[in-house]
Amino acid sequence: MARLLYVCVRPQEGAAAAEYESFRTGARLDPAGLDRLDLVRDRLPADAFDRWDGFFVGGSPFNVADPESTKTDTQRSVEADLERIAERAAHGETTALFTCYGIGVVTRMLGGTVSRAYPEDTGPVIVTLTADGERDALFGGLAGSFFALTAHKEGAGEPPPGALLLATNEGCPAQAYSVGDRLYATQFHPEPTPQAFTERMAVYRDDGYFDAGDYDAVAARVRAASVTEPVRLLRTFARRVAG
């Protein structure tokens, strides 16, 4: 059994399968090295923290900041299970890397504010490490500023209480943070190549992340971007979990 688990929170099965492959190949793991759990269709098992030592949490079209009255039972159960993982990692009882939608779940759980005030357009953005990020065991090996891929409708202006800001930019100030040395969260997507990101864009082209008629132009901008640094987080994370 793999020591690492990819946690899927995407209702679209094709996009979820592709995201799993992006995490697996980005972390340089063979198929036996990364298990997969679909929280949209299954609950987090009671023995999850005995079965796996680390968790990659993928993105989702869900939004944490949406009114609770508008959320489906599926979204509520997904968020409850993600909070279980985040709480264990925050207490140093497991290791987890939350991305995109996942950072919102963690921020809210820790008492921070997630809102629609910090969206970012679909495509490449420049992310800059803070001084704490430059010293961090996971982020410290990255370039001081780098391109990353984003597509989100919500975000946070600052990290939640108890978290250490590791990376930032003007559009969404809380781009990455840590809690202790076992819980990490990024607003940007560390896993996809530009080509994989454009294929994901095709799945969500009518979901309001960008004007559907602009798909070709946005995809061309994504393909032209040099996105080399974020995926290094996955490799370092996987090595840390492996000991």
Could you tell me if 224 and 184 are in contact, meaning their C-beta atoms sit under 8 angstroms apart? Answer: no
Q: What are the residues whose beta carbons fall under 8 Å from the beta carbon of 31, sequence distance 6 or more?
A: 24
Q: Where are the domains of the chain?
A: 4-242
Give the Cα-Cα-Cα angle 142, 147, 149 (nearest 5 degrees).
115
Identify any residues that bridge with 56 across adjacent strands, giving them in sequence order.
6, 97
User: Residue 171 corresponds to which amino acid?
Assistant: G
- Identify residue 123 by its one-letter amino acid code: G
Distance of CA 70 to the CA centre of its chain: 23
**Strands 95-99 and 120-129, how do they pair?**
unpaired
For residue 225, the one-letter residue type is A
Q: In the chain, which residues have pLDDT < 70?
A: 1
User: What is the model's pLDDT at position 6?
Assistant: 98
Q: Which two tokens stand for residue 156?
A: 């946070």
221: number of CA atoms within 13 Å, CB side? 15
Instruction: For residue 231, give the nearest of 161, 139, 165 by alpha carbon.
Output: 139
Q: Which amino acid is at 169?
A: N
Neighbours of 22 (CB within 10 A): 24
Cα radius of gyration (the chain): 16
3-state secondary structure of 36: strand
How far apart are alpha carbons 94 and 86 in whole angstroms?
A: 9
Taking the CB of residue 116, how many other CB atoms lie within 10 A of it? 12
Q: Provide the terminal-to-terminal Cα distance of the chain, rounded to the nearest Å.
A: 16
Name the architecture of domain 4-242: 3-Layer(aba) Sandwich (3.40)
pLDDT for 1 equals 57
User: What letter would DSSP give residue 87?
Assistant: H
Phi, psi of 218 (to 5 degrees): -65, -40
